[in-house]
Every structure is written in structure tokens, then in C-alpha cells.
Structure 1
Amino acid sequence: MGRDEVVAEFGRYLRFERDVSPHTVRAYLADVNSLLDHLNGPIEGLDIAVLRKWLADQHGAGKARATLARRAACARTFTAYCHRRGWLPADPGLLLGSAKAPRSLPAVLDQEQAQAVLAEPATAEPKELRDQALLEMLYATGVRVSELCALDVDDVDRDRHVIRVCGKGRKERSVPFGLPALRALDKWCIYGRPLWVRAGSGPALFLGVRGGRIDAGTVRRVVHARLAEVDGAPDMGPHGLRHTAATHLLEGGADLRSVQELLGHASLNSTQIYTHVSIERLRVAYRQAHPRA
């Protein structure tokens, strides 16, 4: 089988069997094409020596550890798939190890900064109402930006104060939100959204100015713009508000398992980084306040 056919088949496997996100599919296919460029020969020649040399060359080119870790994971997935299909006599990826990517502490807002970011707008224009509602929902629920954009009107249960979210792997979960978010959402749905609804709007909860479902790029611009208005606030996107929500939940006494469920993490390891954030902030407060710090 030719290279293009192999890559195409692997892409279909990722989309329809692994059900990974379009972003991950693009990244993995780019990695596979890089690997096959390095191989520069028939697929049967792909062995552990080729894999190690490919990663070593990228390390020498200054690629970050996180990038190398992702590409090693992609290589293992690809070689396992090729072996199952009979294109490789053995799976060389089983012999491939990689260092774990470093986990840096995410930037988060403190509670005063979060309050400033969520201050009510001075006007009641549709854009201001929409932006306020989506900012409140991002902070209240900690959902991913893709999950926020995918919300439909019927996904909001106002009586129970929860939203139904379809997360990674098409897994559904219910996430609670508070009264400030509900008030902002009601203002958008009553006074803002009806002015932007068009024939093609469908059930989308958050709309763009032309009436279509809002996209992640627009949400990122909204978050960056609002954070720029707050003195001392770190510049970050919607994922920063997700980090902030998780950190504030833990600082308020929520247990790690509950935060894991709210965020939709498959593994508790993904949630544990927020305990490090809280501990680091505790250290800062200790150094500032304790006379013998």
C-alpha cells in the first residue's frame, strides 16, 4: 500500500474508531507525514532505529519536550495500527520510550481579578450581553471552549442550574452553575440573542454577529479583550478561565474527585495539577505573611 493510502487510512481510523478531535487528527497526521518523510522508503522499513533517529533529529532541532512526547505517542499509535493491519511484521513502537512532558503551572486569576473580569458591562448591547454570559459560563462551569461553543439552548436546565455538556470522546456530563451566570444568560437569551437570530442559527446558545454559532476564535478574542481591561491580570485565553475555576473550587474546599467530574477529565492525574497551583499560591501567601518565612 502506498504512503498516501496509509496516511488516509490512519486518518479514518483516528476519526471514526478512536473518535479523536479534529485538532488531534490534524496534529497526528502532520507527525506521521514527518515520520514518513524521515523514513523515505517503504512502510516495511519502519523500525525502532528509524523512530529513535526521527525523534533524536527533532530533539537536536530544539523541539520542546512536550512536542517530542506528543510525537512519540503518535508514533506508537501509528505503528500499532500498521502492525494490526499487517503492514508491519512487528510493532516497533512497543520499544519506544519517551520522557514525560513537563507540566508547568497554569496561570490563573486571583478571586479579585476574577470579580473584575466579570463586572457587568455598562451597556446592554447584544454583544456586551453575549460576552458577559459566555464569560460567566466559562468561569462558573470550567467547560472547554469547544464545549461552550457547542451548547444549544436546550442544554441549559434553568430550574436545576446545570448545563448538559458533550465533552471529549462524546461523553456527556452535567455541570452546575450559579445565579450570576444564570442572570447573565437570561439577559442574553431575552434581550440579546433574539436580535441576532437568523434562519440558519439553529439551536445554538451563543451566536456570532452574523447569526451563526459562535466559534472558538471569537470566544478567545472576547476573553483576551476583557482580561486586558483588568490591571495585573495575566494574559490568557478561555482555558485560563477553566484553570481559574478549578483552582478556586479547590481553594474553596471542593474535593479533587468532584473537580475531576466537573471538568470532564478521564484521569485524576489531569486534575491533580490544580492542587499544585493551590499549593504554590499558598507558599506565596506564606512568604508574604509569616514573620519567619
Structure 2
Amino acid sequence: MERETEGFILYLATERGLSAAYQLSVRQSLEALALWMRAKELTLADLGTQELSTFLSDRKADGLIASSLRITAVHLKVFFRWLAARGKLPMDPAEPLISPRPDHTLPETIHSGDVGRLLDSIDPARPLGRRDRAMLELFYASGLRLSELCQARLEHVDFEEGFIRVTGKGNKTRIVPVGGKAKEALESYLHNERPTLVKKRTGSHVFLSVRGGALSPDRVREVVKERAAAAGIDQNVYPHLLRHSFATHLLEGGADLRVIQELLGHADIATTQIYTHVDAARLKSVHRQFHPRG
């Protein structure tokens, strides 16, 4: 199992060109399967559809949520399809698997007023204030994923046109507008603070650490949480919350769902439609609160 897993990860990296984050996610699913197989004293040749269904059921019993179960099922399908296509297995045991039904939890958002409080609380005169303000402004103004912000480079930003080029899931590139406030914050950081962070081996990443290297995703998460706490916001604030809020607030403002899909970089409109449920839930809440017979 270990050898086949390594071969499959190499295939995803070299032939499919999938991201390191996706490769890690697949590896985690397959390593969980390998542990389960060892506990059951099974080999790859022993695995049929029933065994894989039992594995997913056991993962659910261990507390894995529906969305993670669906991702695991997808990983199993692509892995075993790859094995069967290369003649390593006589048949694909994962093909008949039925993916767990998705849960319908709505994406969490933050009120636009709290976003304003958060952004306005960051003092650009304080150390790293310009950098952190620019990061949070960009998350909210452009709906970037965490990985997209960390990978952003100077050559990707077009200040004249007001756009940033990002590479998202599946190495797909898209052009996203940078709003006026975000553009202003970004220019202030690049002109006044980033030069002080540059070291001998610094690359062209937009956002730098105090050591001159690219900011890691974990550090960006910490910065977002620290800034939210300093602003007195009780809600759990994280990068993807700002992305959800970006989409939700656009929809509430009347933006077309297809435009939001393009801005977020969703391959399927069905992924973007979750935000229509958020808006519907908000409308129902307002109706219940204010209608005399709500």
C-alpha cells in the first residue's frame, strides 16, 4: 500500500500538476486507509466494494464529518481507478461506492460592520500594521483563498488596472479586481513597509515575514486571529471567513451569481450556490424578527 500511495502521489504531482495541498489531502486519506487495513490484516488484493464501504462507515463512526467523508470517498475513487487502469488490480472496487450525502451547513460569515471595525483597528504606524492591513483588505476585497494570498507575487499585481492574478485549485489562474481600499493599503505596504522586510535572499512574494521570507499559511491565520482579538471581535475570525463574507456581501448587494463564481474561481456553479442559501437564511431571519406573524 505504501509503495502504491507514493506512486499515486507522484502521478498527481507530475502528470496532473495538482497542488501540494491536494496531494497532502489525498495522502492523509490513503494513510488512514492503510492504518485501517493493517488493523484488519488486509492487503490491497483483499479490498472490494464492501470493504471500502466498511472503511468509510468506520471513519464516520470515528467522528469524520460528512464533507470530509465525501472528500475521502473521492480520493478512494481516483486512487483505485488509477490502480485498475495500470493493471495493478483486476477491477476497480471503488467505482460502485456511493459518496456520503453532503451536509447542508451554511458557510459562516462576519457582519460587514465588524469587517470595517477589524480593518480600521489596524494602525499602519505600528510595526507590521501596513502589511497586516493590506492582507486583510485583500482577503475581503478580492475573496482570495489563503494559499492564493501566500503565493501572491509582485509581478501578479497590476495597480494601473486594479487587478491581481492568482493561481487557485487545479493550478487554474484567474484575474480578480482589487478594490479601492485594498489597493490603497497594498500600495502603502509595498512602498513604506515591505522594503524594510527585504533580506538578501528575499523573493518576489508580496507578503513577507520579519525574516524576509514568504509568510506561511499558519502565520497568516495567526495574524488574522490576533488582529480580530485586538479589535474586540468575539467571533472566530479566520481567512476563509473573510472569503465567505466577500461572496455573501456581494450577493446581498445584488451581484450576479455567475460573476461571484468567476471571482471565487469555482469550477462549478453549484459550489457557489451555497451563498444563495446564506442569503435566504438571512431573509427568513429578518422576516421572523420583524413580521407581526413571522
Instruction: Indicate the TM-score class for this superposition, using the shorter chain for normalisation.
Output: over 0.9
Cα distance change of structure 1 residues 23 and 154 upon mapping to structure 2, 3 Å threshold? closer
> Residue type of the partner of 1:216?
P
> Residues 1-293 of structure 1: matches in 2 within 5 Å?
3-39=1-37, 40-119=41-120, 121-231=122-232, 233-293=234-294
Equivalent pair of 1:44/1:87 in contact (CA under 8 Å): no
Equivalent pair of 1:125/1:192 in contact (CA under 8 Å): no
Moved more, 201-210 or 68-77: 68-77
Cα distance change of structure 1 residues 37 and 189 upon mapping to structure 2, 3 Å threshold? closer
Secondary structure in structure 1 of the residue aligned to 2:289: helix
Query: Distance between the aligned counterparts of 2:232 and 2:125, measured in 1?
Result: 24
- Measured after TM superposition, the shift of residue 218 of structure 1 is 1.5
- Measured after TM superposition, the shift of residue 200 of structure 1 is 1.3
Query: Distance between the aligned counterparts of 2:61 and 2:174, measured in 1?
Result: 43
- Measured after TM superposition, the shift of residue 132 of structure 1 is 0.4
Q: TM-score, normalised by structure 1?
A: 0.93
Aligned residues: 291
Query: Distance between the aligned counterparts of 1:96 and 1:7, measured in 2?
Result: 20
| Aligned residues with identical type, % of pairs | 38
Cα distance change of structure 1 residues 239 and 92 upon mapping to structure 2, 3 Å threshold? same
State the superposition RMSD in angstroms: 1.7
> Residue type of the partner of 1:35?
L
Secondary structure in structure 2 of the residue aligned to 1:94: coil
Secondary structure in structure 2 of the residue aligned to 1:92: coil
Query: Distance between the aligned counterparts of 2:283 and 2:149, measured in 1?
Result: 31
Query: Distance between the aligned counterparts of 2:33 and 2:10, measured in 1?
Result: 18
> Residue type of the partner of 1:74?
H
Moved more, 65-74 or 143-152: 65-74
- Measured after TM superposition, the shift of residue 232 of structure 1 is 5.3
- Measured after TM superposition, the shift of residue 226 of structure 1 is 2.1
- Measured after TM superposition, the shift of residue 233 of structure 1 is 4.9
Cα distance change of structure 1 residues 255 and 149 upon mapping to structure 2, 3 Å threshold? same
Equivalent pair of 1:107/1:236 in contact (CA under 8 Å): no
Equivalent pair of 1:126/1:193 in contact (CA under 8 Å): no
Equivalent pair of 1:117/1:230 in contact (CA under 8 Å): yes
Query: Distance between the aligned counterparts of 2:134 and 2:275, measured in 1?
Result: 25
Moved more, 278-287 or 186-195: 278-287
Q: TM-score, normalised by structure 2?
A: 0.93
Secondary structure in structure 2 of the residue aligned to 1:118: helix
